[in-house]
A and B are shown apart, each in its own frame.
Chain A
Amino acid sequence: MVPVAIILSVLVLKISGSTVYTAGKDSGISSLTEDPDIGEILIAGHPVLQNLSTEPGIVEVELTASKERLSLKPGAESNVYAYNGRVPGPLLEASEGDSVIIHFRNDLPEKTTVHWHGLHLPFVMDGSPFHPVEPGDTFTYTFRIHEGTAGTYWYHPHPHHRTAWQVGMGLYGGIIIRDPSDPLPDTLTERLLILSDNRFDEDGEIEFAEPGSRQERVDDMNGREGDVLFVNDEVMPELSIRSGEIQRWRIVNASGARIYRLGLEGHSFTYIGSDGGLFEHPKEVDEIILSNGERAELLVHGTGDPGSKVILQDLPYDRYMPMFRPSNWDEINNLLTLRYTDEQPIQEPFKVPETLRKIPELNIDDATETRVMRMTNGKINSKTMDMNRVDETAKLGATEIWDIRNLVGMDHPFHLHGFQFQVIDRNGKPVQQRKWEDTINVPGFESARFIVRYDNYPGLWMFHCHILDHEDQGMMGVLEVK
């Protein structure tokens, strides 16, 4: 997904264990690695968008979407869409309080947008279908990073009816927002794992279903899944860890339809965060489910022996209606190898705090409205998306409850733009963990309720299923906040 030379150099870097140095906390930057071949700075394993500003508190970058010819699948070259010539696009890194300026240029042969998935920002900067950037045009996205935002986000296109195509062609990239007072030590090796999948024809080109074909029908229903699974820009990359070490992994599900059930053989995770940053309290888990658009933050404990290795796996997860369930749905997919160095075990001088941060509770007594969203395949409340229609209207500053009901037998991940929410309950059972989210997966025939407050920004905000094919079919609506 990036030029072959960079793939090789990054691979060398990872296998060699890399030279990790740590910046001071004040810089807001944790693990940096330097590619020895080309001198490129990597953050959490990713090339980073270069900050053109020397002023403190300003992050000013350039981002261009263009058609490129790159190697995605090993051994083949493909026509792709790329941000700054890369798939995934370079990492956007900023800190709470920063003002972010992104000079975007659309060099694609079609209109696009850049949606800053999960960030709380003005409507015109959201990169929603209401603000397309025509081919050859530029647009400068500017927004401020609010306090409490620190976490893992991502950016991707959001043009009406074309999101699945453009993301499938390679347009997605990661975002890390830093908290200068992050409760976790910046000595932890940090990794950003952007998960994606794709499908290729025998010539190595990205394959989409033929119009009118049975595969198109399956893709329309399930969303388009690929049989080649990527972690960042590689298939089955090898990462390293030292026995006894604790690493901080940030994971993004950038797949258009695949839901990941992640497990690391013989290891548990400390689950510390999701869409909107750190939880209030960490939780020990054996595996996590990450639906489309969602993010997770995990602490990975190096409990293996020196010289051993372990595989991060995508375990079977049945998200399908029976009539469209793929025959190989119950197979395990290997995602990456975590290899233990030969070094002697270390004792990480660090105990995971019992409280990671205080998250203000949105009180259901303050809710002035409950909005019911009945999700069927391709529709919400029996309607498909109409750019000229407002489906829901709310007052700026109001606190409301959304009741998301999945009436069919497959999972639908529900995403609300612009505002992070707190899940209250699932199927009537209270959710105890307090956290901020912008996407919630609702399995077949299940329901969930969340509470949200429409702070700061009026506008027309999208809500939709984040299976990108469903979104493109019109499983999306508009909330006007005014």
Chain B
Amino acid sequence: MHSSEADHSDHSITIIAEDYAYQAPNQIPSGWTTMQFENHGNEDHFLLVAKVPDGKTLEDYTTQIVMPFNEVWYALRDDGLEQELVFEKLMPNLPEWFAGIEFMGGTGIVPAGESSEITLRLDPGTYILECYFKNEDGELHSVEGMLRELTVTDSQSDTTPPEADINITLSNFDMDIQGDLKPGKHTFSVHIIENPEQGFGHNVHVVRVDEDANIDELMRFINFFEVDGMRTPSPFTFAGGMHLMPAGATTYFTTELKSGRYIFLSEYTGFLGVVQDVTVE
């Protein structure tokens, strides 16, 4: 689609999240791109950027990846499927090419009315933009329509990554944050140094919490497979972050921090301790 609101210059674009869709350009050049992500909806949204194998399309991703996930989600939500059995039920229904998907970043969770900026490096190919947060009825935003194809062309953007003042390193069991976390706008770099044994990398969500916040509740909420996990209305105040990337990749996100307590946690390994509880002052 064409869009007068989205900035189509070579290396900087605007992606608008609605309930439930993205307004975004159809194609961008390869290389570094800065994405201004604006949530114009009434619910929390995020952006996951997934590169699909050559020849695969949004149609394939939807029918062969999203739908099996959605079936498993329905089994959890409606039929009481135990979380331990999720992958046993899911994996036989996924195509072989699922292993060839490369998740190349995106944003953390961005509340309604807020925005986030990310900078990521994309190679030429076909990408899928997806939000799998849930609405109040427990339906995935992706299934409601929040899926979109993005083509990254062979032409190169000439942009360079921003200067980061905070550096995060993620491994399978650790999150290291270097820098001076004080109130104000910060640009974070996130570098992934290893992949989980069976997984696609790591991400970071930034959450502003009260001093007496129950972090176990936050861990439950960030777990997609919990019936009330990642579901509207969100009881937590998210402040952006970055989404799944594989080992060796680096991305950047910019967010405004206020004085107070923040939790930085990885969605899939937070329960293993890949989390940082920090105070900004």
Contact = CB atoms under 8 A, between A and B. Distances in A.
Interface of A: 321-323, 372, 374, 376-379, 381-382, 403, 405-410, 427-428, 445-447
A379 B3 contact: no
6 contacts: A322-B62, A322-B63, A323-B70, A377-B21, A381-B18, A407-B23
Contacts of B3: 405, 447
B158 interface: no
B19 A379 contact: yes
Of the listed residues A406, A409, A428, the one surrounded by the most CB atoms of chain B closer than 10 A to its CB is A409
Of the listed residues B22, B66, B145, the one surrounded by the most CB atoms of chain A closer than 10 A to its CB is B145
Contacts of A374: 16, 18, 21, 23
A376 B19 contact: yes
B63 A323 contact: yes
Interface in B218-241: none
Given A323-B63, A382-B18, A409-B58, A403 B143 contact: no
Nearest to B62: A322
A374 B5 CA distance: 11
A445 to B, nearest CB: 6
Given A405-B3, A447-B1, A382 B19 contact: yes
B148 A445 contact: yes
B147 to A, nearest CB: 7
Nearest to A406: B1
Given A382-B19, A382-B42, A408-B21, A372 B5 contact: yes
B41 A377 contact: no
Contact of B22 (A377, A379, A406, A407): A407
B66 A376 contact: no
Contacts of A376: 18-21, 144-145
Contacts of B42: 382
Interface of B: 1-5, 16, 18-23, 26, 40-42, 58-59, 62-63, 66-67, 70, 143-145, 147-149
A407 B67 CA distance: 20
Contacts of B1: 405-407, 427, 445-447
A405 B144 CA distance: 17
B62 A428 contact: no
A379 B2 contact: no
B148 to A, nearest CB: 7
B139 to A, nearest CB: 8
A381 B19 CA distance: 8
Contact of B145 (A377, A382, A403, A428): A377
A379 B42 CA distance: 11
Contacts of A372: 4-5
Contact of A323 (B16, B18, B67, B148): B67
A428 B58 contact: no
Contact of A407 (B4, B21, B62): B21
B184 to A, nearest CB: 30
A215 to B, nearest CB: 14
A403 B4 contact: yes
A407 B22 CA distance: 6
A376 B23 CA distance: 10
Nearest to A217: B139
A323 B66 contact: yes
Given A377-B20, A382-B18, A409-B147, A323 B62 contact: yes
B18 A407 contact: yes
B56 to A, nearest CB: 13
A406 B70 CA distance: 23
Contacts, number: 69
Nearest to A446: B1
Contacts of A322: 58-59, 62-63, 67
A322 B21 CA distance: 15
Contacts of B5: 372
- Sorted nearest first, the 3 A-B pairs with minimum C-beta distance are A407-B21, A408-B145, A322-B62
Contacts of B26: 445
A403 B2 CA distance: 10
A323 B147 CA distance: 11
Contacts of B41: 382
A323 B3 CA distance: 26
A259 B16 CA distance: 29
A407 B144 CA distance: 11
Nearest to A410: B145
Nearest to A449: B2
Contacts of A408: 20-21, 145
Nearest to B112: A382
Contacts of A409: 58, 62, 145, 147
Nearest to B26: A445
Contact of B144 (A377, A406, A427): A377
A386 to B, nearest CB: 13
B272 to A, nearest CB: 32
A428 to B, nearest CB: 5
Nearest to B66: A323
Given A374-B21, A376-B145, A408-B20, 17 more contacts: A322-B63, A323-B62, A323-B63, A323-B70, A372-B5, A374-B18, A376-B18, A376-B144, A382-B19, A382-B40, A407-B18, A407-B21, A407-B23, A409-B62, A427-B1, A445-B1, A445-B26
Contacts of B22: 407
Nearest to B142: A323
Contacts of B40: 382
A321 B67 CA distance: 11
A381 B18 CA distance: 7
A412 B22 CA distance: 16
A372 B5 CA distance: 10
A223 to B, nearest CB: 14
Nearest to B143: A323
Contacts of B21: 374, 376-377, 407-408
Nearest to A447: B1
Nearest to A321: B145
Contacts of A447: 1-3
Of the listed residues A403, A405, A407, the one surrounded by the most CB atoms of chain B closer than 10 A to its CB is A407
A306 B87 CA distance: 64
Contacts of B147: 409
A376 B148 CA distance: 12
A372 B6 CA distance: 13
A323 B64 CA distance: 9
Contacts of A427: 1-2
Contacts of B144: 376-378
A118 to B, nearest CB: 27
A419 B62 CA distance: 38
